[in-house]
Structure 1
Amino acid sequence: MARARQERAEITRQAILDGAATAFDLSGFEGTSLSDVVKNAGVTKGALYFHFPSKEALARVLMDEQIQVREHVPTIEDPGLQTVIDLTHQMAHGLRSNIRIRAGIRLVIEFGSFTHPDPTPYDAWIDTCHSCLTPAQQRGDIFPSLDVQELSTLLVGAFTGIQVTSYVRTRREDLHARVTDLWKFLLPSIVPPERMNLFIPTGTPETDPPALTH
């Protein structure tokens, strides 16, 4: 019985997060009410408050979820520049196909820039890039004169701006193409010419996303 209750509680929690993601993706943090979340989730307000004490708590969980890409980096046997290229394309796919990622990114931008300024998510992304680009530079894939911390910061800012622009212009239909453009233009300025053929701006074939689900 206890296990069954735990399973039902987790199902309810996930439904609430899905409902919150739908609302936040549509209306942002300030434009979303807990009534919107309850309506989208198909639960009672009592159930919502049992799992989440506030709208901000819901937003924090969704923001944390999309940062979890960091957890995959230590499992990569040999992280490097191509790892970062692939991660940007994986994030692009997530933004196009996963409403919880879309909501999390929107909340990161709102919280990090306007509503409640918080650099933590951006710093986490920068740290992920730094952890991959440092060994890349050590093995000669990045010019030794470049500051890897500054490069990581630039990449996070560039990707953030690209995905926002893509959303406004095409609802992210062209996002993979624009991310590819980023790498096509950037790679010659950071990679020694004799190493250029090692990197694939479109992402490695094994990281190609499956067909989008809507």
Structure 2
Amino acid sequence: MARQERAEVTREAILDGAARAFDATGFRGTSLNDIVKEAGVTKGALYFHFASKEALREAIVAEQFAVWSPFQNVERPGVQTVIDVLHSMAKSLQENERVRAGIRLVIEQSTLGGANPAPYVTWIDLFRNCLAQAQGRGDVKPEVDVDSVAQFVVGCWTGLQLTSEVLTGRQDLTRRTSDMWTLLLPALVPPRRLHRFLADGSPAAAS
């Protein structure tokens, strides 16, 4: 057990080091030596856990989905779930190096050769499912195409967080996320139910 625990500590140190390096200089600008230095481990230890820099990239990209974990057991996922997830993601981008590095890596792959659509598809599917359940309960207008909305939300917020990064270093990302939902909610939700949803996110999302 002690050996397993040490191995897990080493793996976590490698992920933290890789996140710092990727966040600072991107995938192409980061070498395995940079990651080893940041992590404070040997190259042999790195290769024990990750076969390549590409494998490390995939592990860091997957870290963004940790944001979804607290919402997996929501009893009635719906519109507020999607709002809260994006507010949680905004907070994570401000505070969590792994999530921040993962998002940078996804965006880099999208603008270079070998783009990886999987993270986008995963978020679209998760949001579509939430919105479809909400529509079934009458919280989303019946004429709304939830697939189109899910794709729009992912694309819109991706651009929004990039703009926030450039203009304010993401300091205003929570405010901009609220603005997005303030504009979008009236188009999605029947007027009689609009008061049920918080564009600023629920208290749980802010904790």
**TM-score normalised per structure 2:** 0.96
1:18-97 superposed matches below 5 A: 18-97=16-95
Instruction: Using the TM superposition, name which of 116-125 and 63-72 deviates more.
Output: 63-72
| Contact 1:70/1:128 (8 A) holds in 2 | no
Q: 2:151 is matched with which residue? A: 153
Q: Aligned to 1:200, what secondary structure does the other structure show?
A: coil
Aligned residue identity for 1:77:
E
SS of 2:37's equivalent?
Answer: helix
Match for residue 126 of structure 1? Answer: 124
Unaligned runs of 5+ in 1: 210-214
Q: Which residue of 2 aligns with 1:212?
A: none
Q: Which amino acid aligns with 1:83?
A: T
Q: Could you tell me which of 157, 163, 166 is aligned with 1:165?
A: 163
Q: Report the AA paired with residue 73 of structure 2.
A: T
Give yes or no for contact 2:90–2:173 (8 Å, CA) kept in 1.
yes
- Compute the displacement of 1:48 (Å): 0.9
Which one is further off, 149-158 or 63-72? 63-72
Which of 4, 8, 13 does residue 15 from structure 1 map onto? 13
Matched, 1:207 2:181: no
Quick one: which amino acid aligns to residue 38 of structure 2?
N
- Residues 16 and 39 of structure 2 are in contact (CA less than 8 Å); yes or no, is this contact kept in structure 1? yes
Structure 2 unpaired stretches of 5+: none
Q: CA–CA distance in 2 between the matches of 1:86 and 1:128?
A: 13
Amino acid aligned to 2:27: F
AA of the residue aligned to 2:55: A
CA distance in 1, matches of 2:113, 2:93: 21
CA distance in 2, matches of 1:25, 1:119: 20
Which range moves more in the overlay, 61-70 or 126-135? Answer: 61-70
| 1:194, distance to aligned residue in structure 2 (A) | 0.9
> Taking structure 1 as reference, are residues 180 and 138 closer, same or farther at Cα in structure 2, changes over 3 Å only?
same
By how many angstroms is 1:206 displaced?
2.3
1:193 aligns to 2:196 (yes or no): no
Cα displacement (A) at 1:166: 0.6
Q: State the alpha-carbon separation in 1 of the partners of residues 72 and 100 from structure 2.
A: 24
CA contact (8 A) 2:67 2:88 kept: no
Deviation at 1:140, TM superposition (A): 1.4
Instruction: Give me the TM-score of the superposition, normalised by structure 1.
Output: 0.93
2: CA distance, partners of 1:26 / 1:74: 31
RMSD value, Cα: 1.2
Secondary structure at 1:53 match in 2 = coil
Aligned residues: 207
One of 99, 102, 116 as aligned partner of 1:101:
99
